Each structure stands twice: as C-alpha cells, then as structure tokens.
C-alpha cells in the first residue's frame, strides 16, 4: 500500500494523533496553525496513520511533532514519515533536520537513531516548568536531548 504525506492544517485530524507527543492539545493546535510551520498527515491508502509538524528553515529545520497512531506503531510508518521529511529537506537548501526528545524517552531516542539521527546537544532543565516531577523508566524528566540528521553526510540509520 502506498505511503504518502499531505500538507494540511486539519486540527481535528492531527491533534488526536499528535497527542501522544504532547499532552497539551492547545499547544499542538497552535503549532499546526502557526504560519511558520507546515503540518503533514501521513496516509496509507485512505487511512491517516500519522502526522508531523515541521518548521522548515535554512540551515537547520526542526521536527516539532511526529507521531504514528497507536494501533499502527511498529509497522515502519514512523521511519517512512521521517524518510519523506528527509526527501523534502533534500529539495531545499537545508543542512540538517533537528528533533528534540526528553532525556527519559528511551524508545524515542532509539527510534530517531534507527532513523539516522545522531545525538547533538542537551537543553538542560528544559522541563523545569513542570509543576510535578514526571518519571519514565525511573528517570526524572528534566532535559531535552537534541538529535540531528545531517543531510550533507551519509546517515546510516
């Protein structure tokens, strides 16, 4: 079945899918509607299986959100979505794709590296605004790990 991504600002479609990337639906909707961002829905046939929000910028572009709906995870759609974003990036004067994930998000850190990203930097205490401590895998969520997909080099994901 063909996998394709389509530009959309359909918040009814994308917010429920992207909710697992951010618990704040208002923030997700704002990102989708932000004129500086481009939002995508990923389709397999007629089914919307995922979504992403990109901030395209010269030099470094950023994946603001990416998610695959829970029933469709582990089928390669997340990797296919990244591959399509990389393809779009290659058509522009962009040097790298950046993405941030929490220090506790071990699965996402694995996912991005398997898609060809490499660790780049740490935004220490990024999550210090949390009112209550959040733990994943017994680790306190506190820092944002930035990963980079360098378009100039071969990424062996």
Ligand X SMILES: CC(C)(COP(=O)(O)OP(=O)(O)OC[C@H]1O[C@@H](n2cnc3c(N)ncnc32)[C@H](O)[C@@H]1OP(=O)(O)O)[C@@H](O)C(=O)NCCC(=O)NCCS
* Residues in touch with ligand X (CB under 6 A): 20-21, 66-68, 73-79, 101, 107-108, 110-111, 114
Query: Closer to ligand X at the Cβ: 10 or 107?
Result: 107
134 and 142 Cβ atoms separated by less than 8 Å: no
Torsion, Cα 135 137 140 142, to 10 degrees, reads -100
- Shortest Cβ distance from residue 58 to ligand X (Å)? 23
Residue 61 CB-half CA count within 13 A: 28
Query: Closer to ligand X at the Cβ: 34 or 72?
Result: 72
Taking CB atoms, the residue at the shortest distance from ligand X is 78
Torsion, Cα 42 47 50 54, to 10 degrees, reads 30
DSSP structural state of residue 72: G
Cα–Cα distance between 10 and 39 in angstroms, integer? 9
- Shortest Cβ distance from residue 131 to ligand X (Å)? 21
- Shortest Cβ distance from residue 66 to ligand X (Å)? 5
Query: Closer to ligand X at the Cβ: 21 or 54?
Result: 21
- Shortest Cβ distance from residue 14 to ligand X (Å)? 12
């Amino acid at each position: 079945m063909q996998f394709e991504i389509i530009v959309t600002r359909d918040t009814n479609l994308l917010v429920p899918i992207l909710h697992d990337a951010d618990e704040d639906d208002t923030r997700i909707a704002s990102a989708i509607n932000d004129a500086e961002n481009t939002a995508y829905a990923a389709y397999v046939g007629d089914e919307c299986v995922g979504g992403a929000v990109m901030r395209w910028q010269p030099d470094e572009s950023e994946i603001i959100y990416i998610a695959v709906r829970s029933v469709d995870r582990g089928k390669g759609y997340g990797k296919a979505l990244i591959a399509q974003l990389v393809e779009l990036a290659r058509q522009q004067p962009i040097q790298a794709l950046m993405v941030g994930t929490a220090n506790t998000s071990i699965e996402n850190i694995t996912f991005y590296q398997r898609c060809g990203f490499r660790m780049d930097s740490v935004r220490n205490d990024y999550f210090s605004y949390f009112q209550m401590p959040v733990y994943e895998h017994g680790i306190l969520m506190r820092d944002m790990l930035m990963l980079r997909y360098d378009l100039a080099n071969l990424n062996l994901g």
